[in-house]
Structure 1
Amino acid sequence: MARQQAPASDLIPKTVLQGGARLFVASYVVRDTELDRVWRCGFHALLWLNGGRATLLCDGERFEAQASSLFCLSPGQVYRWSAAEATTRATLLGFEADIFTAGRAQGGLLDVQLLHDLPLFRAGGTAVLAADENAVTLDRLFALCRRRYLQLSEPHGGRSWRVLPRSQEGVLLAYLHVILAEAATLAPALAAPLPSASTDLRLSRLFRLHAGQRVLERLSVAAYAGLLHVTPDHLTRAVRRSTGQTPSAWLQEQLLTEARRRLALTDQPVEQVAETLNFASASQFSRWVRVHTGQTPRQLRQQGRGN
């Protein structure tokens, strides 16, 4: 994994995978990482807290976590550790969604639909699961996954991160599959199977995951429909039936979430935030914020930092 430096216009850098890798495992002492540094997740991530206590802030939510907690972070989410005990350790398993599709195409057991049938990765928030009876099993699985990753991955240049060659992905994919299955048992709502007529829900989740990652591009509903190989009307009906919202309303919510992130977590002037979010002017941005929140950007910034 590498932490990619953001362009000069963007003060929230993204964590990305390097060297063509699609899966990695990292283990670290949380207090030794850069506390209070803000990062945007560039992949799906399972974050296992295997010791101590820590505070994670993610998209306006505050999580006071203790050992044997599992965080499920979606691509596009913005997070930071704000506090941690000296003994707090974490193991992070990150992966690209297309690793599932590839596994299926090569005759494997993994299918990208698993990500959408098990709503561990929620476009509208962070799933945090407390592992009680499953704690020993998950701790062992993450430890074994990390060990095998170190055995099969290769150093990447002169950097500290490593790259897992695609020819060695099979074993780690098997561990990932088991970990996802164990995670799904931590909450009854997650373990329950979806109804047979779940096409709308799957399509809605795919749309929302795409929208969460590409919010700065300000794509239209028609553009997302094209990405998902459906018509705009089909996408609108599916999202409305499964969520009660239209795709346009969801895109507005994602844009507002991004505005909150930048106002609360960076020192960007309002004019720069407006420019980054592709508004024609700061005044247009301010009017838009007031319409959707009843507050000015300055008030929204103060509220976000207070929270």
Structure 2
Amino acid sequence: MADRTPNGAGDGDGIRTFPFPVDLSVGGVGIQVGPMGTERRWHADAPLERVHRIDFHVVMLFTGGPVRHMIDFAEYEAHAGDLLWIRPGQVHRFSRSSEYRGSVLTMQPGFLPRATVEATGLYRYDLPPLLRPDAPHLAALRASLTHLQREYEDTETLPPSLHASVLRHSLTAFLLRLAHLAASSAEAARRQADTTFTLFRDAVEKDFAANHSVSAYADALGYSRRTLVRAVRAATGETPKGFIDKRVVLEAKRLLAHTDLPIGRVGAAVGFPDAANFSKFFQLHTGQTPVAFRAELR
């Protein structure tokens, strides 16, 4: 699979997209497995320390930490035994100050058949990217990934077609374990969430572009403001207003990064008819003006 341009292509938003580096894979197959390291790159020109996008899957299993890694403008802190799963199209950035140690798996879309893709939830963008398995699950994942790496590196005992087939089966076994962990983690988080917070979260997701008022949400849901504050603080550690503002900022960042909309129209899209008020709000919460944020990504 050739690169779209010599330096990776953008999607009209100034953020480069890098394809799966088939030329760097053993035997030209659609996966790579190996140790993390500064010498491992998606592409010779891929700016790992800057915001960029990839069109393939990345799973990092850490043996050290902490490592801070940005995925879709959210910062995640991973420690030894944690995994990060980055899916195609997600924007991310490596940390200059973190030492990445462990194993990394990259996989080209299309390497696995459709039934396996569906069974393993490869495109479940609703699942959390940061996974923290318990000791038994971690041991099983490590063993499965080690086996996959051995099969990946063994190009002598099987002809290429059988080698690729064995890799698909080994990869499927690892991904089924990983998908189970991701789904279980998401379900545990849902069970722990208070019903009040869940209703508030869903209401914010639906109306954040037009409604920034905590009292309005409380009235609409039939709760007192105090009840809503307690529920949101218990679930997230922050106030309802802070939760709303974070969602507004995230949407503004996405629009600034992924579109060429004028700043005023971005502000209007997230509930600020006045461009100056939007700029003040954005700078208060990010430390940057919308113009500076967009320029940093271009």
TM range (shorter): 0.5 to 0.7
Q: How many angstroms apart in 2 are the aligned matches of 1:293 and 1:152?
A: 62
Q: Does 1:27 align with 2:35?
A: yes
2:225 maps to none
CA distance in 1, matches of 2:20, 2:283: 31
Per-residue deviation, 1:58: 1.1
Identity within the alignment, %: 23
Change (3 A) 1:18 1:185: closer
Per the alignment, residue 122 of structure 1 pairs with 124
Taking the aligned partners of 1:148 and 1:137, their CA distance within structure 2 comes to 17
Q: Which residue of 2 aligns with 1:38?
A: 51
Counterpart of 1:260 in structure 2 is: 253
Work out whether 1:111 is the aligned partner of 2:123. no
Distance (whole Å) between structure 2 residues aligned to residue 100 and residue 76 of structure 1:
18
TM-score, length-normalised on structure 2?
0.54
- What letter matches 1:15 in structure 2? F
List alignment gaps of at least 5 residues for structure 1.
103-109, 154-164, 193-255, 264-272
Deviation at 1:85, TM superposition (A): 5.0
1:16-165 superposed matches below 5 A:
16-19=19-22, 21-29=29-37, 36-82=49-95, 85-86=98-99, 88-101=100-113, 111-116=116-121, 121-124=123-126, 126-131=128-133, 132-152=135-155
Are the aligned partners of 2:119 and 2:176 in contact in 1 as well (CA < 8 Å)?
A: no
Measured after TM superposition, the shift of residue 283 of structure 1 is 3.9
Question: How many residues of Structure 1 are paired with residues of Structure 2 in the alignment?
Answer: 211
Structure 2 counterpart of 1:28, one-letter code? M
Output the amino acid matched with 2:112.
F
Match of 1:91, SS? Answer: strand
C-alpha contact 1:184 1:190 (8 A) present in aligned 2: no
Q: CA deviation at 1:90?
A: 3.3
User: Which structure shows the bigger proportion of residues in strand conformation?
Assistant: 1
Q: Which has the larger radius of gyration?
A: 2
Check whether the contact 1:138–1:182 (CA below 8 A) recurs between aligned residues.
yes
1:172 pairs, out of 167, 173, 176, with: 167
> Is the 2:9–2:18 contact (alpha carbons within 8 Å) kept by the matching residues of 1?
no
Q: Which residue of 2 aligns with 1:211?
A: none
Distance 1:182 1:175, change over 3 A: same
CA deviations 1:56-87 (Å, max 9, x no partner) are: 1111322111111112222111112225554x
Q: Distance in 2 between matches of 1:170 and 1:99?
A: 10
CA distance 1:36–1:305, change in 2 (3 Å):
farther
Equivalent residues of 1:46, 1:70 under 8 A apart = yes
- Contact 1:43–1:96, Cα closer than 8 Å, also in 2: yes
